[in-house]
């Protein structure tokens, strides 16, 4: 019973983040699929997997050191931010991937981070950059983020240019909340585990169709949802373009038979949707389900 409640909760949250208005959501009996729901007058069956990162990885110790380094950068930044009480800008900084690969884990590459004496100058450059961009941010509405990358940094911000892939900024009326590479703060599973998970669920549905008679004919489509985020062992820790870069995952999805595949990390507000040709990544920024592409 608890498992079924969890599956329904994951499905409802994921669908609402994607902008759907699910109706009549309930557990299937018998399963699979685990959940059925009406969307736009179509009955959809959804098979659900809860993501668990429950095995050690070869690259775990170095990733833990990287986490500590990023936390140190954030601490220096927050101390410097105290001297600018009226900045009123939220920021999210994504560091570049280095050529050094992580063995047996995602993210697949270590990050390019400022170190030692660079950190203080890096923080000063970030604050100067945010101040310079406030005029552009004033043109945005609500919780909308502006995204900046290498061409925006130029030579005025050499350490940002060296280390940062993208910066997301938005205006906030009262508080400043900055995150430093939330996609790299823990380790996740590598591509082969994702492939195995997708293949296993595809086989479950294939066998159910073979032995279930006409039961599956009532569904317009069957979807797959892989969900996680809480507790920490379910934190996916994948980069925004992780799935696009993994041909083995794309092949598994294409051959799975699922009309749609959704991967939902509720802790960090990330959701990936495969609709037959490519991945779409969305990030919802409020608990009301608003989504930024």
Q: How far apart are CA 217 and CA 159, in angstroms?
A: 58
Q: How far apart are CA 162 and CA 169, in angstroms?
A: 19
End position of a domain, from candidates 130, 163, 184: 184
Q: Does residue 153 sit in the same domain as residue 209?
A: no
Q: Does residue 193 sit in the same domain as residue 278?
A: yes
Q: Does residue 154 sit in the same domain as residue 217?
A: no
Q: pLDDT truncated to tens, each residue of the chain (293 aa)? A: 677 888 888 888 888 888 888 888 888 877 788 999 998 888 999 999 887 655 545 556 677 788 889 989 999 999 998 888 788 888 889 999 888 766 655 556 778 999 888 999 999 999 999 999 988 888 877 677 888 988 888 878 999 999 999 998 988 766 668 888 876 655 566 778 888 889 999 998 998 888 766 778 888 899 999 887 655 545 566 666 778 778 888 899 999 989 999 988 877 677 888 877 788 888 664 433 333 33
End position of a domain, from candidates 150, 184, 218: 184
Asked if residue 235 lies in contact with residue 267, where contact means CB atoms within 8 angstroms, the answer is: yes
Q: Does residue 160 sit in the same domain as residue 104?
A: yes
Tell whether pTM > 0.95: no
End position of a domain, from candidates 129, 153, 184: 184
Which pLDDT value is given to residue 285? Answer: 46
Which pLDDT value is given to residue 148? Answer: 92
Q: How far apart are CA 125 and CA 135, in angstroms?
A: 17
The residue segments making up the domain with residue 240 are: 2-55+189-292
Domains of the chain: total? 2
């Amino acid at each position: 019973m608890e498992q079924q409640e969890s599956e329904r909760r994951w499905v409802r949250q994921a669908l609402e983040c994607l902008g759907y208005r699910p109706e009549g959501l309930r557990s299937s009996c018998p399963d699979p699929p685990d959940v059925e729901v009406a969307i736009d007058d179509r009955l959809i069956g959804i098979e659900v997997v809860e993501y668990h990162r429950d095995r050690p990885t070869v690259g775990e110790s170095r990733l833990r050191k990287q986490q500590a380094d990023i936390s140190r950068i954030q601490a220096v930044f927050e101390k410097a931010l105290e001297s600018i009480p009226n900045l009123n800008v939220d920021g999210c900084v994504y560091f570049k991937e280095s050529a050094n690969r992580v063995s047996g884990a995602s993210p697949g590459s270590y990050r390019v981070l400022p170190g030692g004496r660079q950190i203080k100058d890096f923080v000063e450059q970030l604050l100067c950059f945010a101040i310079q961009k406030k005029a552009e941010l004033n043109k945005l509405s609500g919780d909308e983020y502006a995204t900046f990358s290498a061409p925006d940094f130029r030579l005025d911000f050499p350490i940002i240019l060296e280390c940062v892939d993208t910066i997301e900024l938005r205006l906030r009326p009262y508080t400043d909340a900055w995150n430093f590479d939330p996609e790299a703060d823990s380790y996740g599973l590598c591509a082969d585990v994702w492939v195995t998970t997708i293949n296993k669920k595809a086989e479950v549905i294939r066998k159910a169709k073979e032995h279930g008679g006409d039961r599956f004919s009532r569904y317009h489509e069957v979807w797959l949802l892989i969900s996680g985020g809480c507790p920490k062992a379910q934190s996916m820790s994948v980069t925004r373009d992780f799935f696009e870069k993994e041909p083995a995952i794309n092949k598994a999805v294409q051959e799975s038979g699922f009309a749609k595949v959704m991967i939902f990390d509720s802790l960090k507000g990330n959701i990936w949707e495969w609709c037959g040709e490519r991945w779409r990544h969305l990030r919802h920024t409020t608990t009301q389900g608003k989504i930024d592409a």
